[in-house]
Amino acid sequence: MTQPIGDPARDERELTQLVKDLNEAVVKADVAVLDRVLHEDYVHHRPRGMVEDRAQYLENRKARRVDFESLVPDEIKVRVYGDTAIVTGRSTAKGKDQYGKMDEQRRCTRVLVRRDGRWQFVLYQGTPILKP
């Protein structure tokens, strides 16, 4: 039986899996997946404060300027408001960027919109969790 669009349990499962799929695509630098799940207006606020638009984000992943060994999400919380969703959580990132080695945890906020029955990311905000 098909569940209607807007089913809260289905939305939560779908959005949680989409975050996991996105992180896997980022680690693999799978630009085809990223191209599909990022909205044309996507904006990425990196943990060190740099801002990338969709084209810059895709190019930086393709060129592996930000190269992840792993990017593991947890503590995922989903809130859906009609065709808009806010997904918060934590991620553990290992890899390297232009500043050198990364091995950190971050608090993340993602905003998604549903268009034509599928969810797309429109905004990411990452904040480093400082070690005491």
* Mean pLDDT value across the chain: 92
Residue 19 has pLDDT above 80, yes or no: yes
Q: Which amino acid is at 115?
A: R
CATH number, residue 64: 3.10.450.50
Tally the domains of the chain: 1
Closest among 120, 132, 119, 117 to 4, alpha carbons compared: 117
Q: Are 71 and 27 in contact (CB under 8 A)?
A: yes
- pLDDT (tens digit, 9 = 90+) per residue, 64-107? 988 999 999 999 999 999 999 999 999 999 999 888 899 999 99
* Structural domain boundaries, residue 110: 8-128
User: What does the pLDDT average to over 122-128?
Assistant: 96
Token pair recorded at residue 111 = 């905003």
The whole-number pLDDT of residue 62 equals 92
